[in-house]
Amino acid sequence: MARPRGQKHPVRLSVSIDEKDHAAISRLAADMNLSTAWIVRRAVSEFVARHDDGAQTELPLSPRILKEDR
């Protein structure tokens, strides 16, 4: 999942998350001696890998997706 060193082309992204999710991520990061940014990047990478095959996800990600299912 990780890119080889020297092949990174990072893009900065700003998102807002629920306070409870932030607290949970912060706790996990402290427990694992990792940064919160690393955990979020890993979560995004895993989500994309799991759902990038074009298959419909079970999560209702947007109102548009919900309307298309009807």
pLDDT tens for the chain, residues 1 to 70: 555 666 678 899 999 999 999 999 999 999 999 999 999 999 999 988 888 876 666 666 665 555 555 4
pLDDT of residue 18: 95
For the chain, domain boundaries? 18-50
In residues, how long is the chain?
70
What local confidence, expressed as pLDDT, does residue 8 receive? 74
| Rounded distance between C-alpha atoms, residue 32 and residue 29, angstroms | 5
Q: How many CB atoms lie within 10 A of CB 51?
A: 14
Q: Is the pTM of this model over 0.85?
A: no
As a whole number of angstroms, the distance between CA 51 and CA 30 comes to 28
Residue 33 falls in which region: left (phi positive, over 0), alpha (psi -120 to 50) or beta: left
| The pLDDT of residue 16 | 95
